[in-house]
């Protein structure tokens, strides 16, 4: 059988998913934020590489030097290092230190750098106006020779990225913005993020660093990124919405279909059409268990209804015979009473009394059976020895012997009155079927936490054909001796209500009589 998930497992999984959804959203937003920073860094590296190469080419011409070999270009490994470094995951540094006054005199290379910077300044300012990136060219001392701002002649050597670039290492870092962040329209190129990416690339000729290019740019905000990708995001949102709706419909069908099937099954039980079929796809363990319970309930109700119908038919039959006799006797008495002699009237009165006694006995037995059917085990405790002693005393008072044998003190989880009723019914049943000469004996022993009480007699016994029917209501072979066929049924109902059982013990070869064994939980 396929193992189905439990409903609590499904609900737990759904709750965990709902619980993790905000964290997943935060992780996605954080990842997107990092991606915007990496994208800005990559753009600055590409722009910086172009500006640095232009600066190096113009500086070589100004110095009258031949451009160096390929290893004088910006090191590819340096650029790759910036991509492998997780800049977005680092804590932003404080705002950049202010520019300072140059601390040393310019060398010939620095003078050439100043000249080249003046020539490239318009280009740099034009590029900055288009990209909104801050671009600075510095000489070997870190002094600004060209800028998109106003730091010409000031030194940036105190800044980490500039110092690293002048040492020959391309680097990038993240800083907090110094100026107050202002909201910018989503349609503009301006950005209002609270951090700024800085990239510094060295410029070298002949293996000697003669300057650096420093670029900075604010990463794009979520709002601008979403606005730029609004059409793609809208399509994605629609696709996700459709997917969520489909999943919701599937989930609803997954749960609702078996519930509807259970409702139909329960209605069939209510209409008397108990369904024996289990659900084809119960989905969860609980739904399957509920379906099995409904099936068992329907079967039990159907069996109970059939038993009630059979019981009603038997009761009607048992009452019909004495009632018919009573009606016939009364009619004869009404028609022939004046012509009857004393003997005839006496015989008819005896018939009326016998039938009336039969009806009273049937009513009493039916009441006992009804009470036995609703008995539930409680906290009662019966001493088996005391009950058997009282039963034997009543039998001796009526002139009959009842030998009793017990093995030590025994007690069962049953009220003493109930145990007395069970054993009394068995003794009475033995005497009704065995006659006045029958001998009845009772023995009690303890076996594996239970008490076994055996009521045996030496009467004619029970024929093999009747053994399977002895516990059926109204089945009796001693109806002419006052038997109602309810004594064993009442005893069985009381014993089973107390988690016990009553059985007919098969007689040994060449032995007569019948024995009934009652087993009850010991205390």
Q: What is the pLDDT of residues 356-387, one digit of tens each?
A: 876 776 676 666 666 666 566 666 788 998 99
CA-only gyration radius of the chain, Å: 53
Of 256, 263, 267, 262, the closest CA to residue 278 belongs to 262
Question: Average per-residue pLDDT in the chain?
Answer: 78
Question: Nearest CA to 101 among 148, 140, 141?
Answer: 141
**Is the per-residue pLDDT at 167 higher than 80?**
yes
CA angle 280, 286, 292 (to 5 degrees): 55
Most confident of 133-137, 242-246, 344-348, 470-474: 133-137
pLDDT number for residue 248: 73
Rounded to an integer, what is the distance from CA 300 to the centroid of its chain?
30
Query: Which helix H or strand E contains 314, and what residues bound it?
Result: helix 285-336
Residue 42, classified by CB atoms within 10 Å of its CB into exposed (0-12), middle (13-18) or buried (19+), is middle
Say how far apart CA 488 and CA 471 lie, in whole Å.
6
pLDDT confidence of residue 147:
92
Mean pLDDT, residues 58-68 taken together: 80
Q: What percent of the chain has pLDDT over 90?
A: 15
* Strand ranges across the sheet with 144-147: 144-147, 134-139, 208-217, 195-205, 171-176
In the chain, what are the domain boundaries? Answer: 35-228, 378-521
Sign of CA dihedral 118, 123, 126, 127: negative
| 28-32, 179-183, 213-217, 461-465: least confident range | 179-183
Q: Residue 440 pairs with which residues in a beta bridge?
A: 457
Please write the tens of the pLDDT for every residue from 194-223.
Answer: 788 899 999 998 889 999 999 998 887 666
Rounded CA gap, 307 and 311, in Å? Answer: 6
Q: What is the pLDDT of residue 156?
A: 92
pLDDT beyond 80 at 483:
no
- Main-chain dihedrals φ then ψ at residue 195, nearest 5 degrees: -125, 165
pLDDT of the residue at 277: 56
Give the pLDDT band of residue 186 (cuts 50, 70, 90): very low
CA distances (Å), origin 450, targets 122, 269, 392, 519: 108, 38, 23, 6
- Of the chain, the percentage scoring pLDDT greater than 70 comes to 73
Does residue 316 carry a pLDDT above 70?
A: no
**Record: fold of 35-228:** Beta-Lactamase (3.30.450)
DSSP secondary structure of 21-72: HHHHHHHHHHHHHHHHHHHHHHHHHHHHHHHHHHHHHHHHHHHT-----GGG
Better-predicted residue by pLDDT, 233 or 190: 233
pLDDT at 135 exceeding the cut of 90: yes
Tens of pLDDT, residue by residue over 380-406, are 788 998 998 998 888 888 888 888 888
378-521: what fold? Answer: Heat Shock Protein 90 (3.30.565)
CA distance 452 to 502: 10
Residue-level pLDDT at 81: 46
**More confident position, 53 or 296:** 53
- The mean pLDDT value for 12-31 works out to 64
In this predicted structure, what is the pLDDT of residue 451? Answer: 92
What does the pLDDT look like over 84-98, one tens digit per residue?
Answer: 455 655 677 888 777
Is residue 18 predicted with pLDDT exceeding 80?
Answer: no
Q: What is the mean pLDDT of residues 486-502?
A: 84
Topology match between the domains 35-228 and 378-521: no
């Amino acid at each position: 059988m396929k193992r189905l998930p439990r409903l609590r497992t499904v609900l737990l999984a759904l709750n965990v998913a709902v619980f993790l959804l905000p964290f997943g959203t935060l992780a996605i937003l954080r990842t997107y934020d990092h991606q915007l920073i990496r994208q800005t860094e990559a753009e600055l590296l590409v722009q910086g590489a172009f500006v640095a190469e232009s600066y190096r080419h113009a500086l070589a011409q100004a110095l009258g030097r031949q451009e160096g070999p390929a290893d004088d270009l910006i090191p590819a490994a340096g650029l790759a290092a910036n991509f492998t470094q997780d800049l977005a995951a680092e804590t932003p540094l404080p705002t950049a230190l202010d520019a300072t006054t140059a601390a040393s005199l310019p060398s010939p290379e620095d003078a050439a750098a100043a000249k080249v910077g003046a020539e490239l300044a318009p280009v740099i300012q034009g590029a900055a106006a288009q990209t909104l990136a801050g671009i600075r060219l510095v000489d070997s001392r870190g002094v600004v020779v060209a800028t998109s701002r106003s730091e010409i002649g000031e030194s940036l050597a105190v800044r980490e990225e500039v110092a690293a670039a002048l040492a020959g290492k391309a680097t990038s870092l993240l800083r907090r913005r110094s100026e107050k962040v202002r909201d910018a329209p989503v349609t503009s190129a301006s950005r209002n993020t609270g951090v700024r990416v800085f990239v510094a690339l060295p410029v070298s000729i002949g293996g000697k660093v003669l300057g650096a290019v420093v670029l900075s740019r604010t990463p794009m905000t979520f709002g601008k990124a979403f606005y730029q990708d609004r059409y793609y995001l809208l399509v994605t949102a629609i696709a996700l919405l459709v997917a969520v709706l489909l999943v919701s419909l599937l989930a609803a069908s997954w749960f609702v279909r078996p519930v509807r099937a259970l409702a139909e099954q329960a209605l069939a039980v209510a209409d008397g059409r108990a369904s024996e079929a289990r659900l084809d796809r119960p989905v969860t363990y609980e739904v399957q268990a509920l379906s099995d319970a409904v099936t068992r309930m329907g079967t039990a109700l159907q069996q109970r209804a059939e038993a009630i119908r059979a019981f009603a038919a038997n009761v009607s039959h048992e009452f019909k015979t004495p009632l018919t006799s009573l009606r016939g006797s009364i009619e004869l008495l009404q028609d022939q009473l004046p012509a009857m002699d004393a003997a005839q009237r006496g015989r008819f009165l005896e018939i009326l009394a016998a039938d009336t006694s039969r009806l009273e006995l049937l009513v009493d037995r039916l009441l006992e059976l009804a009470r036995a059917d609703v008995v539930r085990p409680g906290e009662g405790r019966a001493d088996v020895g005391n009950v058997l002693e009282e039963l034997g005393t009543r039998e001796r008072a009526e002139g009959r012997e009842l030998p009793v044998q017990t093995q030590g003190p025994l007690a069962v989880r049953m009220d003493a009155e109930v145990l007395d009723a069970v054993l009394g019914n068995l003794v009475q049943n033995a005497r009704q079927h065995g006659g006045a000469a029958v001998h009845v004996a009772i023995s009690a022993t303890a076996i594996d936490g239970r008490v076994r009480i055996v009521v045996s007699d030496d009467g004619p016994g029970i024929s093999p054909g009747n053994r399977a029917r002895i516990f059926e209501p109204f089945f009796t072979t001693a109806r002419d001796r006052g038997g109602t066929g309810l004594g064993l049924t009442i005893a069985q109902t009381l014993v089973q209500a107390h988690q016990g059982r009553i059985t007919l013990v098969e007689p040994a070869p060449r032995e007569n009589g019948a024995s009934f064994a009652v087993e009850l939980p010991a205390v």
